[in-house]
Amino acid sequence: MLDRVVVDDAVRELRPDFAVLVLTAEGLANGPSDQESEGWLAEAAEKADPGDPHVEAWHDAYRAFGAKPKRTRPSVDALLRRAGSLPSINRVVDAYNAVSVEYALPIGGEDLDAYRGAARLVRATGDEPFDVIADGEPAVEHPEPGEVVWRDDAGVTCRRWNWRQCVRTRLTETTKNGFFLLERLEPYPIERLAEAGDRLTERLRAISPDVRVASRLIGGP
């Protein structure tokens, strides 16, 4: 997957400063949240800074493609606002949410085996399917035309850049192979992005000592 991830030119034109650190983690042994993973969330909450300039950079990016960031907040904004009361989901999700809060960085974590083809960051046509749960039942929504979305061959995997992930590729306790997207805009330092990737790798290895982690940086100076 790493070599096939694509950021479309239309997205680069919108935000030439965008960079994403892509990680794959193969051989995960995930499980329910525990004292350690809940501790990571609590530790991150103490470092949370909702006023980090990176949050406003993401607000600007959302406005650039017509989204209203105070109605549909970038993931890092939403997490930082409730950092002290984040629910624990499972060990791997707790791990990347904690890193996201600590580093003021949008991070998406998904099940690599649920992907159909390569991940691409594109501007939507509006016809792509996006799988959700509505009123307790599976449903399909569609992005707005021009919206920035992550997608694969089967449809949208994350709407509004990093606002909401689909049901199909979500990371669960049975996930064996994970796929992570750590997304950065200026003025966020590339060095800090790399440090966040190292911290996430450290946490994944604490969960699964034999996990095989690989990464690729796309974009940046």
The C-alpha atoms of residue 138 and residue 130 are separated, in whole angstroms, by 11
- Provide mean pLDDT across the span 182-204: 98
Supply the pLDDT for residue 11: 98
Supply the pLDDT for residue 221: 73
Which residues face 184 on adjacent strands? 19
207: pLDDT strictly greater than 80: yes
Query: Across the chain, which distance is largest between two alpha carbons, in Å?
Result: 44
Supply the pLDDT for residue 220: 79
Supply the pLDDT for residue 27: 98
Supply the pLDDT for residue 67: 97
Residue 131 CB-half CA count within 13 A? 12
49-84 pLDDT, tens digit per residue, is: 999 999 999 999 999 999 999 999 999 999 999 999
Supply the pLDDT for residue 161: 98
Q: pLDDT band for position 143 (50/70/90)?
A: very high
pTM above 0.75, yes or no: yes
Reading the block at residue 85, the tokens are: 């009361």
Supply the pLDDT for residue 165: 97
3-state secondary structure of 221: coil
89-142 pLDDT, tens digit per residue, is: 999 999 999 999 999 999 999 999 999 999 999 999 999 999 999 989 999 999
Supply the pLDDT for residue 142: 98
The C-alpha atoms of residue 155 and residue 149 are separated, in whole angstroms, by 10
Residue located via tokens 């992930």: 165
155-190 pLDDT, tens digit per residue, is: 999 999 999 999 999 999 999 999 999 999 999 999
Are residues 78 and 136 in contact, defined by beta-carbon separation less than 8 angstroms?
A: no
